């Protein structure tokens, strides 16, 4: 059984152009209307993915009122429809008004079939992407219950959550490996909350943020008078975590002389405060994290191998946000909802361009970067929908490099969309073609043209 063709509604009163457009989109199921009643009837019955809309329609063929009336009805009835407005009437003013009213794009007449076709297919790709993200979003509630507040629909991250959930009720030491901003502390807290120790404290310490001469006291505590400024006996983080969980973030930054003392604690489960010889037994679960390459540090003599094996009884590698297809949009929507509520702003969502930019961006700073950009956008946005500019995802240097060559820009965009679809479909050609809204032969041709290989 073949996959159903995507649906395109052409709203155009020129019979010759109707036939031409219908012929041009053989990879769509095309419906044609020449006026507002016919267009709205087809919208209701066929629920098209994409609409091309001529603004000059009877009874106002020389104006734009009828076309804008149809656009408004489409946005009210089926706001996820991608509407491409075509008109020769006051192009710039009409374009601005159309986009403000919810159109996906604007095309000035006379129509060039090939160029319009490219816009239509890009609109379909975005529609498919948003549709898939809505489907994935329905799984978010379920996946949030897996482990604390983790928001994900990516199999890679769900697997991580399941692994942590499985080891939560043991006492093994867990090492979380991942780039900065991937959510290591959030996962550590999730592990703690899923464990039998959840009624006791979760104590976190960033080993990279504390000066070396103070780190020993922070970890192990100190006695009154142990050093200048030690005016009272103070328990360290390890003692504070008794009965609960100790999270050592950036454990690779612990200096060698403290690594020895930490190893002794892990072996004997006793500590000595700075300035004391009294051994204090402490029962705590140790979870640690780092973005550093500990294997390389061990080889260079900067990290003890015996300590590594004590800390890394279970190793969990956390994927970057770029390796979690679809999650950037889910997270962006969650952050936007949170900060819009906290700040009581008029922002209510993300524009289509913003969604596409979020999905296409490589997120070098991972979830932390995404959260910061969305938070800033909620503060700075002038409209109800956050734009690409609000997210500061416009990069003039990149645009200048491609703007002079439209063909190259299109090829780059096509490559990016195809690679993303392949990743989302785990290399399955049929599913990738369905996601992109094209046939399998067309996808094979594009893979060959752009020298892309299924995963």
Q: Where are the domains of the chain?
A: 7-137, 155-318, 322-394
Least confident of 196-205, 350-359, 362-371: 350-359
Whole-angstrom Cα distance, residue 203 to residue 269?
Answer: 17
Query: Does residue 305 surpass a pLDDT of 90?
Result: yes
Are residues 55 and 86 in contact, defined by beta-carbon separation less than 8 angstroms? yes
Of residues 308 and 2, the one with the higher pLDDT is: 308
Which helix or strand (DSSP H or E) is residue 108 part of? strand 105-108
Whether the per-residue pLDDT at 404 is higher than 60: the answer is no
* Residue 97 per-residue DSSP state: H
| Residue of 317 and 64 predicted with greater confidence | 317
**For the chain, what is the mean pLDDT?**
86
Q: Considering Cα of 335, then 341, then 344, then 347, what sign does the dihedral take?
A: positive
> Given pLDDT bands bounded at 50, 70 and 90, which one contains residue 372?
very high
- What confidence score (pLDDT) does residue 433 get? 84
Give tens-digit pLDDT for 140-155: 434 444 576 788 877 8
pLDDT reported for residue 90: 60
Residue 288 has a pLDDT of 97
Q: Judge whether 446 and 439 are in contact, CB under 8 Å.
A: no
User: Which range among 191-195, 207-211, 407-411 shows the weakest confidence by mean pLDDT?
Assistant: 407-411
Common-topology check for domains 155-318 and 322-394: no
Per-residue pLDDT at 84 exceeds 50: yes
Domain 322-394 bears CATH identifier 1.10.8.60: yes
Query: Max CA-CA distance within the chain?
Result: 95
Distance CA 188, CA 173 (A): 11
Phi, psi of 160 (to 5 degrees): -60, -45
pLDDT value of residue 142: 40
Q: Decide: helix, strand or coil at residue 9.
A: strand
The pLDDT of residue 400 is above 70: no
**Least confident residue range of 156-165, 167-176, 433-442:** 433-442
pLDDT for residue 176 = 96
pLDDT above 80 for 132: no
How many Å from the N-terminal Cα to the C-terminal Cα in the chain? 25
* CATH 3.40.50.300 correct for 155-318: yes
Q: Which percentage of the chain shows pLDDT scores above 70?
A: 90
Helix pair 327-343, 352-360: axis angle to 10 deg: 130
- Structure confidence at residue 406 (pLDDT): 57
Q: Which residue has the tokens 């009828």?
A: 66
Per residue in 331-348, pLDDT tens? Answer: 998 899 999 999 988 888
Helix runs in 78-112, H state only: 91-100
Lowest mean pLDDT segment, chosen from 144-148, 291-295, 300-304: 144-148
pLDDT at 371: 95
- Please identify, in words, the CATH class of the domain defined by 7-137: alpha beta
- Partners of 57 in the beta sheet? 60
239-252 pLDDT, tens digit per residue, is: 999 999 999 999 99
Contact 210, 263 (CB under 8 A): no
pLDDT at residue 395, as a whole number: 47
Angle at alpha carbon of residue 233, lines to 229 and 239, rounded to 5°: 120
Count of alpha carbons within 13 angstroms of residue 354, beta-carbon side: 24
Query: Above 80 in pLDDT, residue 2?
Result: no
pLDDT for the residue numbered 80: 87
pLDDT for residue 140: 43
SS3 254: coil
Place of tokens 């192009």: 91
Of 307 and 87, more confident:
307
Q: Are 36 and 25 in contact (CB under 8 A)?
A: no
* Residues 404, 72: Cα–Cα separation, whole Å: 35
Q: How confident is the model at residue 135 (pLDDT cuts 50, 70, 90)?
A: low
């Amino acid at each position: 059984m073949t996959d159903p063709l995507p649906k395109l509604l052409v709203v155009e009163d020129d019979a010759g152009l109707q036939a031409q457009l219908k012929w041009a989109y053989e990879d769509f199921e095309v419906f044609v209307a020449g006026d507002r009643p016919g267009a709205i009837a087809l919208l209701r019955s066929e629920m098209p993915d994409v609409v091309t809309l001529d603004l000059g329609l009877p009874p106002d063929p020389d104006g734009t009122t009828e076309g804008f009336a149809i656009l408004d009805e489409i946005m009210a009835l089926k706001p996820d429809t991608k509407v491409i407005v075509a008109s020769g009437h006051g192009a710039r003013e009409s374009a601005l008004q159309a986009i403000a009213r919810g159109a996906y794009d604007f095309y000035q007449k006379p129509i060039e079939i090939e160029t319009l076709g490219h816009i239509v297919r890009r609109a379909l790709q975005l529609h498919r992407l948003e549709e898939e993200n809505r489907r994935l979003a329905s799984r978010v509630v379920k996946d949030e219950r897996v482990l604390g507040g983790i928001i994900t629909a990516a199999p890679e991250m769900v697997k991580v959550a399941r692994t942590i959930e499985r080891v939560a009720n043991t006492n093994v030491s867990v090492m979380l490996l991942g780039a900065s901003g991937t959510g290591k502390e959030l996962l550590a807290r999730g592990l703690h909350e899923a464990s039998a120790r959840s009624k006791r404290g979760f104590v976190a310490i960033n080993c990279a943020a504390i000066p070396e001469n103070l780190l020993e006291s922070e970890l192990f505590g100190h006695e009154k008078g142990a050093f200048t400024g030690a005016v009272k006996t103070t328990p360290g983080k390890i003692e504070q975590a008794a009965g609960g969980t100790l999270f050592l973030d950036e454990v690779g930054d612990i200096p060698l002389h403290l690594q020895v003392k930490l190893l002794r604690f892990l072996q004997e489960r006793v500590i000595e405060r700075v300035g004391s010889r009294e051994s204090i037994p402490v029962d705590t679960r140790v979870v640690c994290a780092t973005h550093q390459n500990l294997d390389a540090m061990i080889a260079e003599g900067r990290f003890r191998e015996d300590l590594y094996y004590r800390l890394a009884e279970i190793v969990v590698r956390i994927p970057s946000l770029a390796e979690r297809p679809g999650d950037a949009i889910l997270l962006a929507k969650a952050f936007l909802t949170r900060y819009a509520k906290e700040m009581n702003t008029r922002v209510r969502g993300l524009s289509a361009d913003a969604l596409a930019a979020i999905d296409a961006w490589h997120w070098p700073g991972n979830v932390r970067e995404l959260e910061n950009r969305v938070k800033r956008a909620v503060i700075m946005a002038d409209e109800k929908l956050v734009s690409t500019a609000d997210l500061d995802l416009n990069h003039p240097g990149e645009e200048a490099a491609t703007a002079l060559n439209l063909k190259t820009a299109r090829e780059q965009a096509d490559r990016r969309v195809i690679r993303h679809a392949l990743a989302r479909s785990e290399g399955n050609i049929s599913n990738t073609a369905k996601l992109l809204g094209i046939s399998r032969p067309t996808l094979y041709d594009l893979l060959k043209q752009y020298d892309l290989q299924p995963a």
